[in-house]
Amino acid sequence: MRPYIYYDPSITYPAIQEHFSPSQHYPEYPWHDISSKENKIYDTLRNILYEYGLDKENFGRSTWNPFKNFISPGMTVLIKPNMVMHQFDNHVSYDELITHPSIVRAIIDYIYIALNGTGKIIIADAPMQSCNFELLKRNSGYKDIETYFTNKNINIQLLDLRRIYSNFNEFNELQTFNASSDPLGYQKIDLGKFSFHATLDRDSSRFRVTNYPPSMMGTYHTKNIHSYLISNSILSADAVISIPKLKTHRKAGMTGAIKNCVGIVGDKACLPHHSFGSIEEGGDEYLYKNLFKKINTFLNEATDILNYKKCYSIVKLLRKFQNLNIKFINKYKRDNYFEGSWYGNDTISRTSLDLLRILLFSSKDGTIQKYQQRNVLFIVDGIVAGEGEGPLLPTARKAGIIAISDNAIVLDCILATLMGFDPDKIPTIANGLKYINMTKSSIFFKTNYILWKNKNIQSFEFKDTLQFKSSQGWKEKIYIEH
């Protein structure tokens, strides 16, 4: 089916109260709880499932079951939202930071209908290392949803898939702790020559991810090995509904359906986010050679190692030297790029596509198969999206978008275009389109918005788009030409 894009910039999220229940009773609605406050999100999502073409013949009846061809009774269904971080900055709210729980609540109702009182529902993500998951659950509304369905004796779990988490204490020392982890454990899956990294002639010893020592990355990626530690709750699922938050991204340009797959891992150290050094040195951390930037990277890596060893006094000394070194960077730099946060980063794109491949084609025992192994549907939350310095410091953008498709690459191509970005200038999407052998001119979508109807992606002009503001590292390099 063609992707469906809903657009209404006036729509808003409901308040947390009353568990995000609908504000009117629908024939198929399985409960008696009705919100006294208006909930346009529930109404809208219901209509989107219909417009996308799910069980259209039964719409308006008590027998309407939009997920019936996707979910069968007895299945394990996993919902994968974007729960990247708790609210840690007064200028950023949960609305633009994470997948809003009101969308998750409505989807759970329709999963419950499809399961017919059987099976299992899991909500799971692996947020950033420094995310306070309990705080996020409590303050965003996810805990209310979990409690609501648990009180109805629904078999539901809300899981933090990380093996470890960390935070800075009152002395600004990075401390690491064991997280709750996936109760089913993890599997190390090696894509080998089938990795998107294998098609690029780059030394894997250059792979880096912020706040993790390079030696930890080396346990997953070597010359002929490209492996990832994947959650067994993900692998054991018969169906997955991925619900990304639409945002700009400093390293990837934009984040949507593909990038949301990063949250299926248990160890962030397996995720190459950029490659050490400048382009001409074989990396993609920044554009031009710069001795002081290289020193800065070495200092970051040294402090990562020392933080894990709890050598905090040495870390403080290195940080002082690093502050001095930054003055030299600012004086002699030829570009403003750091840690792969720019348009030349082609590492994070390949990592994201690797994880999409695993999500779709890995069997429950961790073997990559020729045919898709589980049903996967992508529903993107862009009611309040994020622009500027996403994914952690985005500026709220009332975009009014909810998008749905079973093809992550095509969906991201559409969404990038609607943001005003050229998909060919975003490595994640450009590499993805080559993989599925598609071009922008072949991509169409359904929509309620008359100005976007019957247009293919290639024909969009910048004036037709929502004209999102990119992050600084992608400025003037990502937009549709205008």
Is the pLDDT at 368 greater than 80, yes or no?
yes
Stretch 178-184: mean pLDDT, rounded? 90
Structural element, H or E, at residue 122? strand 120-125
Question: What pairs with residue 339 in β-bridges?
Answer: none
The b-or-e profile of 133-169 (16+ CB within 10 A means b, else e) is beebbeebbbbbbbebbeeeebebebbbbbbebbeee
Q: How many C-beta atoms surround the C-beta of residue 439 within 10 A? A: 14
Stretch 321-342: mean pLDDT, rounded? 94
Between 232 and 212, the more confident residue is 232
Entry pTM = 0.96
Mean pLDDT of the chain: 95
Q: Rounded to whole angstroms, how far apart are CA atoms 99 and 83?
A: 7
Count, residues in the chain: 482
**Which pLDDT tens digit goes with each residue over 9-49?**
999 999 887 899 999 999 999 999 999 999 999 999 999 99
Is the pLDDT at 168 greater than 80, yes or no?
no
Q: Contact, 121 vs 115, CB < 8 A?
A: yes
Is the pLDDT at 348 greater than 90, yes or no?
yes
Spell out the residues 6+ positions from residue 313 whose beta carbon is closer than 8 angstroms to its own. Answer: none
Is the bond preceding 391 in cis, omega lying within 30 degrees of 0? yes
Q: Contact, 15 vs 412, CB < 8 A?
A: no
Spell out the residues 6+ positions from residue 476 whose beta carbon is closer than 8 angstroms to its own. Answer: none
User: What angle separates helix 101-115 from helix 40-52, to the nearest 10 degrees?
Assistant: 50
Q: Rounded to whole angstroms, how far apart are CA atoms 11 and 256?
A: 20
Return the closest-CA partner of residue 97 out of 388, 355, 336, 296: 388
CA distances from 53 to 21, 115, 453 (A): 24, 19, 17
The pLDDT, as a whole number, for residue 304 is: 85
Is the pLDDT at 449 greater than 80, yes or no?
yes
* Residue with the two structure tokens 């008590």: 62
Question: What pairs with residue 253 in β-bridges?
Answer: 249
**Which pLDDT tens digit goes with each residue over 279-327?**
999 999 999 999 999 999 999 999 988 988 888 899 889 999 999 999 9
Q: Contact, 113 vs 121, CB < 8 A?
A: no
**Which pLDDT tens digit goes with each residue over 418-438?**
999 999 999 999 999 999 999
